[in-house]
A and B are shown apart, each in its own frame.
Chain A
Amino acid sequence: MILPLGPMHPAFKEPLRLKLKTRGEKVLSAEIDYGYVHRGIERVMTGKTWQKAIYLSERVCGICSYIHTQTFAETFELISGERAPLRAQFLRVLTNELDRIQSHLLANSTYFKALEHETLFMYMLYLREPVMDAIELLTGNRVNMGWNVVGGVRMDVDDTHLQKVRDIINNLESEYDKYVEMFEQGPLVGLRSKDVGVMSKEDAIKGRAVGPIGRASGLKHDLREDHHTYRDHLDFNVIWRKEGDNFARTMNRFDEIPESISLIKQVIDNLPEGEVRKKIDIGAGYGEWRNEAPRGEVTYMIETNGNLINNISIRTPSIMNIDSCAKYMLQDAATVADAVATYASVDPCVACAERVVILDEKEGKKEFQGIHNIKYLK
């Protein structure tokens, strides 16, 4: 039988319909329907100046909103041929890594919620809260920060801010291990996720899985390696695993948090002096820039006439990850509960996936059904 989950469902954070083809309790395959929260945000952004559009770009995604503004600003810096001052680049890394930590902790907490382990779910949120406070301390807001501008960041930080962030990070580091151990060594929690929702490396390549989902399946691919600030000034390791199951995905996110903590410490120790913002003259042109969001690769393609945005296209990681989840991970799940947990382990962000209008060229009609119908990714 076909078991529909959603679009409104207590296990999902955002509206999306999951059609599970089941025989008894066993899940045979799955299909995903998008289109419940489509907002046409790229259409709203065209014809606006970058000052207006940057505020809209951080509203593409509700959780990893920060990286969208950074990628937007860096695309414009690419078009103009200049880079932000070094201090601004370091501050971007600082906020980006704080944002990554909170996003990973939230993703894992929802996974534990899907596993019905509510204690661990609450513990993860308890760990996340001080990180949100650190973001709020630096930028003034918790989610939509409005911190990036083309040519740098909006505000400078001083020593008291950095000291508070360091305290929060140290505190997180000392408390963090014991909660990871509960999941990693716990006999029941871990067993629920080992060998569930396995995606092989070949399938991950076929489904274009990115971010921690791809890395958990053995794709050693992290765009931070190519980013100029990380490459030239900071050291970090790419975390990856081979198993490709729910456990690997969750542990991959857990293991990335210490790397982010070490990056934050490097930034605080080596923060260079100087300006945080400089005036950049943007010429007409086209630019394309990629960055590593907490969920994977975010790409911005912008065409501008020097003042207004002529055309903009955003590619977010969730659309690939959710799609590869439906195609490869949800095959042969033992129970429906496992299927829900597998879906949660992908860390789906429906809001960022849904910027698309699906047009059927042949019949000239609009519809929102199935990713395979997409003609224009826009």
Chain B
Amino acid sequence: MSSVIWYLYEFARKSWAEKFADAKSGHDIVERPARFRDFPEVFKEYCIGCGACTAACPAPGAIKLVRDSDTSETEGLTYPVITAGACIRCGFCAEVCPTDPKAIECGENHLIREEFTILPVEKMFVIDDYLCIRCKKCMNACRVEGAITEEDNKIVIDQSKCIACGDCLKNCPVKGALKGIYISNVEEQKRIINLAVQKLEKAIEDNQDEIKVLPADKVLKMELPADELIEESLQILNNEEMVIDLIEKVTDRLKLRVITWDEEKCTKCRLCLEDCPSGAIIYDEEKGVKRDPDKCLRCSTCYQTCPFGVAGYYIAKFLLKRSPEEDVILITLKASNLPI
């Protein structure tokens, strides 16, 4: 009973009533330190949609690019959206953002000096100076100031500034002048290239009979289904985009030299034996002159030496033809026009 009276007494006090009437929570005692790094802030009007932030983010699912739908007046904006649940507040997206002013900002402590930023992607773009025609289309297409420059009449890519968006490659008119190279999984890439070359060599060797009767001014065309090769490559490196890109590059640039050997024409003069630089041609009294294809360098010295036309010399070129039903590697083979 007495406690109830105490409560009543307490409630009847003027100071209590005053406090009750203008009750409010106290001021926020949490003080933000000067160097505090909050979640990144996105200014979508500056974004160029290059995707450097999404490529740089170490946390899975923290950032993705979205695009607003178009309206009748304006085109929809592209901008990154940050999921606070997955973001680890490293500020890396703000660091790599190439726009000026920045589309993503993250605290004062992430204004990193330029010399420390390093390419955060798996692809590197290089210019082949031999093929480059200096049209400067890549330079005009590049979104980053100073990433592609002209020095001493050569086009140069500054790797520390490049964000690897790939616009330069799309605009390059010369095939092979600008190359996008994967800098990860180098060992696996080597194995896939070796595998592709072996497969192509085998396909040509299976058609030796047709090649031998090929006239000098005719071209032999063959088709090799590529699905098997792609599947085997995927077992080495489980990244379809990378594998297709690699095989495309291999078939694009590869020139295989093919040597045929017509034993019926051979008179065992053994002129080729001395000239062969790798010792691939052997003479045996019983078997005659033999060529070991594994040792052969395809240097064409025997073809140029033999007066009876035993050795034939052909050049094969390749092209990957992609279609929804079946991927095919087209092989064209023609006799070399070297003088005998």
Measured CB to CB, the residues of A under 8 A from B are 44, 47-49, 51-53, 55-56, 59, 136-141, 144, 146, 149, 151, 154-155, 277, 279, 305, 307-308
Compute how far the CA of A150 lies from the CA of B13 in the bound complex, rounded to whole angstroms: 65
What's the least CB distance linking B31 to chain A, in Å? Answer: 10
Nearest residue in A to B117 (C-beta to C-beta)?
Answer: A51
Instruction: Label chain B's interface by main secondary structure.
Output: loop
Tell me which residues across on chain A come within 8 A of B119, comparing CB atoms: 49, 307
B309 contacts chain A at the CB level, 8 A cutoff: no
Interface pair A137/B33, CB less than 8 Å apart: yes
Tell me which residues across on chain A come within 8 A of B109, comparing CB atoms: 140, 146, 154-155
Contacts A154-B112, A305-B186 supplied; 4 other A-B pairs, CB < 8 Å: A48-B58, A140-B33, A146-B91, A279-B116
Point out the residue from A52, A279, A305 that lies within 8 Å of B58, measured CB to CB: A52
B135 contacts chain A at the CB level, 8 A cutoff: no
Interface pair B118/A51, CB less than 8 Å apart: yes
Compute how far the CA of A53 lies from the CA of B33 in the bound complex, rounded to whole angstroms: 26
Tell me which residues across on chain A come within 8 A of B56, comparing CB atoms: 51-52
Most chain A beta carbons < 10 A, residue from B89, B90, B91: B90
- Please tell me the number of chain B residues within 8 Å of chain A, measured between CB atoms: 27
Compute how far the CA of A136 lies from the CA of B122 in the bound complex, rounded to whole angstroms: 34
Interface pair A59/B88, CB less than 8 Å apart: yes
Compute how far the CA of A137 lies from the CA of B109 in the bound complex, rounded to whole angstroms: 12
Tell me which residues across on chain A come within 8 A of B91, comparing CB atoms: 146
Tell me which residues across on chain B come within 8 A of A52, comparing CB atoms: 56-58, 92, 120
Compute how far the CA of A55 lies from the CA of B89 in the bound complex, rounded to whole angstroms: 9
* With A51-B120, A55-B58 as contacts: A140 and B183 at CB distance below 8 Å: no
What's the least CB distance linking B49 to chain A, in Å? Answer: 21
What's the least CB distance linking A265 to chain B, in Å? Answer: 23
Tell me which residues across on chain A come within 8 A of B33, comparing CB atoms: 136-137, 140
Interface pair A139/B58, CB less than 8 Å apart: no
Compute how far the CA of A55 lies from the CA of B90 in the bound complex, rounded to whole angstroms: 6
Interface pair B92/A140, CB less than 8 Å apart: no
Interface pair A140/B118, CB less than 8 Å apart: no
What's the least CB distance linking A133 to chain B, in Å? Answer: 8
What's the least CB distance linking A46 to chain B, in Å? Answer: 10
What's the least CB distance linking A51 to chain B, in Å? Answer: 6
Nearest residue in A to B112 (C-beta to C-beta)?
Answer: A154
What's the least CB distance linking A335 to chain B, in Å? Answer: 41
